[in-house]
Structure 1
Amino acid sequence: MQNLPFFEMFKALIIGIVEGITEWLPVSSTGHMLIVDAFLPMNMSAEFKSLFFIVIQLAAVCAVIILFWNRMFPFGFEKSAESGLSGASNGLPKIVVHKDIFSLWFKTVAACIPGAVAVFAADDFIEEHLYGPAVISFALIFYGIVFIVIENINKKRDARINDVRDIDYKTALIIGLFQVLSIIPGTSRSGATIIGALLIGVSRTAAAEFTFFLAVPVMIGSSLLKLLKYEGSLGGAESAVLAVGCITAFIVSLAAVKFLMSYIKKHDFKLFGFYRIAFGAAVLLLLGFIR
């Protein structure tokens, strides 16, 4: 077994914290992780790092599944009211199917189709040519401005959809088309879907919750794809680094999701827009100094 690279695990811990915080905030988790790796690079193969950045996002998704289990899982149990021969209730639990949750999952799958097509068509090209700090910074700044503009527009109108269960197939597909934008690093998957949702009249809370639903098939699919394409070996060192990143991202995500849902009940997304602009500009300035 390889000696465990403790400094690499420390880097994995830092990246796991960054992922856990930024996965659910509309600020681009991939962009932040790549920028951290640009200034504090992991001494691992490029192929392993590509796998690492995807799989720890799946760990963050697991946090959402746990927090929103009752709203995401379409099956439930309730005490049976049926009576036995004696006329008394037999007390056995009865499986209940929540059709509204099933329907929402079908709409989620429909919304994922445009993004899946885009990833299969352009993922390798984008990973090879657009994963640099400069591209990420410009995307952070551009969509930060978009967030501020959209929120200013939304001050003058009311949302037409306030509950995620009221999203129809047309609305889901439009949001899915916006999700395609997130294949550019620095855009943010949650940011792109929230922007699309806000533009067509979905409330902030419903938009954020639909983003959680979208993340489940997207990240499971992306992780499986990376694992199938991965030709390296996961030895003791790689497994330890991956475990540290995943566990950290999962724990931090639990807190980040709770914060986001509490925050957007009273505030809009403009703060995240200003943050994106400031962070993107800071990285560009830092890149200028380094060069």
Structure 2
Amino acid sequence: MDETLVAAFLGLLEGLTEFIPVSSTGHVLLAGHFLGFESTGKAFEVVIQLGAILAILGVYAKLLISTFAAAPTDPAARRFILSVLIAFFPAVVIGVLAHDFIKTVLFETPMLIAIMLILGGFVLLVVDRWKIDVKYEDATDLPLWTALKIGFFQCLAMIPGTSRSGSTIVGAMLMGVSKRAAAEFSFFLSMPTMAGAFAYDLYKNRDILSAADMNLIAVGFVLAFISALIVVRGLLAFVSRHGYALFGWWRIIVGSVVLLALLGGR
């Protein structure tokens, strides 16, 4: 199959799954495995996330501009910015320390990804049905300590198949954040997290990426941006009405199919 078409498909898959709790990296890595796609230094799978970052920035541009403009005089705006930075901090430390292990071992283990998809699906189903006392309805007004704990939950997603958004959403809900606010805080936290991962991975692979690699990344980036834009605009309304059960079942089904395929020698 033509590599450009594969890159386009993987970019589309990245954008569709980045902000829902099903693990975009897990889906892209597994799809790449079965399609025979091998990116240099596994950079493609990380760098195309820039498209999804720009999509979320576009959706929340007005809020972000007004928040940063108000920060010098508004304590609430400063607290919101600080809450996102505090939640981002654990991923910085663990991501830098474990980067090589994640890319060379965890990213190369499809069986682990399939198992984490299944386990994460069951966790999502349980938490979605759990009657949790909601304390926080506004993603921009979380206590700093709560934000930090959500940041530690996010670090679980360094195991591919776990899901960055899934980890943060589950962690937030367990601490009394509403389903909608949990998804929205996950959006906000994705901006520095994914931007940091993109920049660091590009830096680490700067000497081995070729022009051909960059062309494939560009294709994946464009498709990731377009598809992520569509998902972000509809996700909050969906989870407010239906919760996260659909994503839990999707994870279990996909993980099970992949596991059977791998056990069958694919």
Give per-residue Cα distances to partners, 1:115-141, cap 9 Å, x unaligned: 211112222112222222110011011
> Pairwise mapping of residues 1-291 of structure 1 onto structure 2 (< 5 A)?
7-42=2-37, 44-45=39-40, 47=41, 50-73=42-65, 74-75=67-68, 99-131=75-107, 132-154=109-131, 157-232=132-207, 234-290=209-265
Please give the alpha-carbon distance, in whole angstroms, between the structure 2 residues aligned to 1:69 and 1:118.
29
Structure with greater Cα Rg: 1
Give per-residue Cα distances to partners, 1:116-168, cap 9 Å, x unaligned: 111122221122222221100110111111111112212xx441100112201
Structure 1 moving runs of 4+ over 6 Å: none
Unaligned runs of 5+ in 1: 1-5, 78-94
Q: Which amino acid aligns with 2:205?
A: Y
Of Structure 1 and Structure 2, which has the larger fraction of its residues in helix?
A: 2
Please give the alpha-carbon distance, in whole angstroms, between the structure 1 residues aligned to 2:247 and 2:209.
36
Quick one: structure 1 residues 279 and 44, their matched pair in 2 at CA, closer, same or farther if it must change by over 3 Å? closer
Percent identity, please.
Answer: 39
Quick one: structure 1 residues 122 and 234, their matched pair in 2 at CA, closer, same or farther if it must change by over 3 Å? closer
Unaligned runs of 5+ in 2: none
Q: State the secondary structure of the residue aligned to 2:19.
A: coil
TM-score, normalisation: structure 2: 0.93
TM-score, normalisation: structure 1: 0.85
Quick one: structure 1 residues 247 and 207, their matched pair in 2 at CA, closer, same or farther if it must change by over 3 Å? same
Q: CA deviation at 1:97?
A: 6.0
Quick one: structure 1 residues 18 and 128, their matched pair in 2 at CA, closer, same or farther if it must change by over 3 Å? same
Please give the alpha-carbon distance, in whole angstroms, between the structure 2 residues aligned to 1:98 and 1:235.
46
Q: CA deviation at 1:101?
A: 3.2
Quick one: structure 1 residues 97 and 64, their matched pair in 2 at CA, closer, same or farther if it must change by over 3 Å? farther
> Do 1:71 and 1:101's aligned partners in 2 also have CA atoms closer than 8 Å?
no
Match of 1:3 in 2: none
Please give the alpha-carbon distance, in whole angstroms, between the structure 1 residues aligned to 2:143 and 2:72.
23
Quick one: structure 1 residues 43 and 107, their matched pair in 2 at CA, closer, same or farther if it must change by over 3 Å? closer
Q: State the secondary structure of the residue aligned to 1:281.
A: helix
> Do 2:15 and 2:226's aligned partners in 1 also have CA atoms closer than 8 Å?
yes
TM-align CA RMSD: 2.0
Please give the alpha-carbon distance, in whole angstroms, between the structure 1 residues aligned to 2:36 and 2:79.
43
Match of 1:89 in 2: none
> Do 1:113 and 1:176's aligned partners in 2 also have CA atoms closer than 8 Å?
yes
